[in-house]
Amino acid sequence: MTSPVANNKLVTPEVILRAYYQGFFPMANERGEIGFYCYEPRGVIPLDERFTVRRSVRQILKKKNFEVTFDTVPLEVLRACSRRHESPLYEQWLSDDLIHLYMRLFQMGYVHTVEVWQSKEDSKQPALVGGLYGMTIGAAFCGESMFSRVPYGSQIALVHLVERLRQRGFKLLDAQMPSEHLKQFGLYDCSQKEYLAEFHKVAGQSVAF
């Protein structure tokens, strides 16, 4: 873990990319200062048969009353993941400056989003009810954050992400921090050294999201 950068203007998309290659990811503190962090052990979601989808989630997916898209409303996804007005300030690590940087990385082709939509009876337009975003570097997808506005919203996004990563030839899905919520999908722990070895093995591969 590193200390926050004193001047956010020193943090550029290129600085963020270099940090990922070293196993770090950016987060902002309650004052909006961006720092770079790593977590030991690292959480990784498998892309092979170890990926597990619970029966309750499979039942939701079978209903097919959701629409899933990719890279259509990145700014909306980032803002939803920031959880403004939903959590205490000290828990809001995705600041405006970071959102701006991730949008620049989206324009550069590194950041990608998954969006889950659901039609509402009182509206002609489907509503954004879940999603996630992350960084792609070679055949690695570094997951950053998810959000849900309805039950299972983020889980639907994750299942569709894994399907897409498999189809496109990705080899690594980094979840950064292990959690009990993600362990239901087969998430496993590894050391930072093991993670970096796997990351650098696939980061140079050419795949398209």
d(CA 136, CA 134): 7
Residue in the structure block whose two tokens are 């992350």: 134
Query: What ranges do the domains of the chain cover?
Result: 42-202
pTM here?
Answer: 0.92
What letter would DSSP give residue 90? G
What is the pLDDT confidence band of residue 64, given thresholds at 50, 70 and 90? confident
What percent of the chain is modeled with pLDDT above 70?
93
The pair of structure tokens assigned to 7 is 């001047």
Is pLDDT above 60 for 3? no
Q: What is the band of 90 on the pLDDT scale with cuts at 50, 70, 90?
A: low
pLDDT at residue 88, rounded to an integer: 60
pLDDT at 68 over 80: yes
Greater pLDDT, 63 or 201? 201
Closest CA to 163 of 185, 145, 137: 185
Assigned CATH for 42-202 = 3.40.630.70
What gap in Å lies between CA 12 and CA 16, rounded to an integer? 6
